């Protein structure tokens, strides 16, 4: 009986691995994770105009600008604004960080605001309800896929 099998020493994982595909680089690089902190890019300018209102509101919320020295993994080509020369600024966005607890509290606050607004809308809608012609208030979505051709 003739052997048509490939010898085991010729079978390697290198020959069976998939080809790696090109993937677009990130527009805004992600900093290395830091225990207890969340990172966020904050708008500093739009179309060359400084957005002081946005920056000051984010700083009042508790976001701290990140120093470029603290994150050497993020390479910067140029500094766009002399005011933030020591910070990480790219494309009008400045990298900021905040404690995770603060971010979680902020998320809970906005979730409660959203829930309150949804309840208000539901109450308004159901106030117009008529037993002869009831309104349905289902907040359910579903995804379906077509069969194609």
In-domain check, residue 108? no
Number of domains in the chain: 1
**Domain extent for 75:** 38-99
In-domain check, residue 53? yes
In-domain check, residue 64? yes
In-domain check, residue 105? no
In-domain check, residue 66? yes
In-domain check, residue 69? yes
pLDDT category at 114 given cuts 50, 70, 90 is very high
In-domain check, residue 46? yes
Query: Residue 94: beta bridge partners?
Result: 42, 89
Identify the pLDDT of residue 112.
Answer: 95
Highest mean pLDDT among 113-117, 121-125, 126-130, 133-137: 113-117
Q: Is 97 a residue whose pLDDT tops 70?
A: yes
In-domain check, residue 71? yes
């Amino acid at each position: 009986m003739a052997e048509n099998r490939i010898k085991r020493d010729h079978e390697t994982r290198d020959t069976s691995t998939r080809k790696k595909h090109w993937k677009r680089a990130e527009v805004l690089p992600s900093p290395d994770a830091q225990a207890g902190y969340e990172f966020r890019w904050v708008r500093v300018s739009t179309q060359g105009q400084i957005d002081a209102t946005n920056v000051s509101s984010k700083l009042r919320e508790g976001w701290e600008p990140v120093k470029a020295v603290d994150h050497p993994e993020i390479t910067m080509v140029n500094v766009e604004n002399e005011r933030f020369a020591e910070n990480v600024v790219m494309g009008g966005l400045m990298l900021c960080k905040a404690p995770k607890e603060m971010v979680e509290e902020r998320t809970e606050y906005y979730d409660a605001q959203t829930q309150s607004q949804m309840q208000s809308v539901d109450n308004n809608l159901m106030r117009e309800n008529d037993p002869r012609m009831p309104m349905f208030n289902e907040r359910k979505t579903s995804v379906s896929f077509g069969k194609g051709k």
